[in-house]
Amino acid sequence: MTRTKKTVPVALITGGAKRIGKAIAIRLANRGYAIALHYHSSKAEASATARRIRQRQGHCELFCCDLSDPAAVCSLIKSVLKTFSRLDILINNASVFKPGPLKDARVSELDRSYAIHLRAPYILMQEFASLQKRGQIINILDTKISQNAVTHVPYLLFKKALADLTRLAAVELAPAFRVNGVCPGPILAPEGKISDYLKNAARTVPLQKSGSPEDICDAVEMLIDHNYMTGQLLFEDGGAHLL
Ligand SMILES: NC(=O)c1ccc[n+]([C@@H]2O[C@H](COP(=O)([O-])OP(=O)(O)OC[C@H]3O[C@@H](n4cnc5c(N)ncnc54)[C@H](OP(=O)(O)O)[C@@H]3O)[C@@H](O)[C@H]2O)c1
């Protein structure tokens, strides 16, 4: 059980064990947030991230949850509140980036993408808004929501839906909650992809380079700091959404 004071703000990051989620967790811990770090299968990486945060005198507790299980998702916010007594920021970052055009992607993949990219964030936002008086929600989307590339149809379909949910929630949950999105361009190659993946992706971006997890953290911090912003989708993508 954590020993944070009730005055310390708390951030929950889904899929925070590694990659972009880990960078966001470390950045927010450095800003003084106690971190509720959600993970599913990456227990060792989650523990290593928590250790790193604690080594710098930060607070971090781990929460394991399969986001494809709606009952488990329903209890995640309550578990965080039981541990920390408050929640200030929810970052819906977890994702499954599986290729598949409409003709090839199985219905089971459509169901999985719906569960991770839309249903879980929906439930978490709903629980957060009903159990806390105020807060902020940041949904991590994708620059591709502005286009119709058909390489990852189940993924993109529900990222687009989450972008719409971001704006709907910004209206419904105001003034107590601000709800925004970050739309990354090419940041990290999918796990297991060859090293040229990012180089090739960078060539298709106006700024001719890929971004870094730190760039996404900058966007998250900007949204946190801008008190009059809600319903924004911030494209951190080297201009990719303009094409
Ligand atoms: N990487 C990029 O260049 C890029 C580009 C555009 C948009 N984005 C967006 O940025 C965000 C972070 O990207 P990323 O590449 O760092 O993400 P990622 O590595 O693909 O996934 C992040 C985490 O999602 C969690 N996750 C997957 N299925 C889950 C499930 N059933 N239950 C619970 N957690 C689950 C995994 O946690 P465990 O490992 O613990 O299982 C995983 O580590 C995502 O929303 C992604 O769509 C990324």
Place of tokens 């060859």: 194
pTM over 0.95: yes
User: In the chain, how many domains are there?
Assistant: 1
Closest residue by Cα to atom 14, ligand 1, is 20
Residue 47 vs residues 61, 130, 169: alpha-carbon distances, Å: 9, 30, 32
**Ligand 1 binding pocket mutation candidate from 14, 20, 220 (most atoms within 8 A of CB):** 20
**Closest C-alpha among 113, 127, 132 to residue 74:** 127
The predicted structure's pLDDT at residue 227 = 98
The predicted structure's pLDDT at residue 217 = 99
Inside any domain, residue 240: no
CATH value at residue 130: 3.40.50.720
The predicted structure's pLDDT at residue 199 = 93
196 CA to centre of ligand 1 in angstroms: 20
Give the chain's residues under pLDDT 50. none
Inside any domain, residue 183: yes
Inside any domain, residue 1: no
Inside any domain, residue 57: yes
The predicted structure's pLDDT at residue 146 = 97
Q: Just list the catalytic residues.
A: 155
93 CA to centre of ligand 1 in angstroms: 6
The predicted structure's pLDDT at residue 179 = 99
Inside any domain, residue 4: no
**Closest C-alpha among 181, 183, 179, 242 to residue 211:** 183
Residue 202's domain comprises 10-235
Inside any domain, residue 241: no
Contact call for residues 49 and 17 (beta carbons, < 8 A) = yes
**Closest C-alpha among 6, 22, 3 to residue 14:** 22
20 CA to centre of ligand 1 in angstroms: 8
